[in-house]
Structure 1
Amino acid sequence: MKFYPLVETAVGSGRFALSGSQIVALSTSEAIKTVAGTTGAGLRAAVSPYRSLGGMPDPVSPQASELGSVYDLLIEKPDEPGIFVSGGQILSSQFSDAALLAISMQLFYGSRAGLVAHVAEQAVTPSAPTESVTSGAGSSGSASVVSGGSSPVSSGGTVVSSGSTTSGGTVTSAGAA
């Protein structure tokens, strides 16, 4: 796969700039390791996967060493070409390399995408819940769903979610949808 190297502009800034020419690597994590060898002390390395888009990317099973790797999605700022910032999404290499997911996300965002290794304490923290939907209020099967995402789901007191469930009928989910 082909990638463009991205390097953090300052330690802990969360802003990544294009840095250098295209590289070829077998996986996203291999590409990030290659870029990391050229960064300054304390700066994080990232990559922007490249593919001339003519539809959706073909699936590529992740290398064994790539399987389960997790990345924060970076999106190029429209007003600052060559500068990438968090898109608030977390992608992982499960059924295909996360680079292919990032290429697909480029279509959604209309800008180039990049990937940086996910570090829990540096990850984007979801904001306070933005919406709440309650259905079946007043009945014994009432449920309340609170989501940090944009589409909470509740169906007549039955909630299906990958979030946590309590016996009180409340599900809270701050994960990306």
Structure 2
Amino acid sequence: MPEVIFPGPEGRLEGRFNPGPRPRAPVALILHSHPQAGGTMNNKIVQLLYQTFVRRGFATLRFNFRGVGKSQGLFDNGIGELSDAASALDWVQSIHPEAETTWVAGVSFGAWIGMQLLMRRPEIKGFISIAPPANMYDFSFLAPCPSSGIIIQGEGDEVVTPSAVQKL
């Protein structure tokens, strides 16, 4: 899992990238939880998602949003982080322009950013949203959601309420 540095809207972004094992391998982009709550690409759930996509033959990228780890810039309340995610997807697609499909996966804040990215990028065909913060952010932009995927919510989550995720 080589370390990569690629250009973002506010400077360099740090990531870990595993290229696809074959031509036309699908692409997966993984987004971490809230940077101001300690979220990084090294979060255990982010790493498990990364390893799962790699095992399934995806060209897989996880990265730190601006201001986290070696990524340059400052936290931007989701606006800049959405731009970071778009830059990350552009970068991985430049490495694998022949990808047959693209997935986005996110944890909490990363799930919110990932779903916004999904609505702006028609090449994203699948998603995994883990603990999307439906009680903290507006997800009404998803109606209707153009892709298939899965939303995962833990019953014991102390931040994101299961009822808000169920409503989403």
TM-score (norm 1): 0.30
Q: Highest relative contact order (Cα 8 Å, sep 6+), 1 or 2?
A: 2
TM-score (norm 2): 0.31
More helix by share: 2
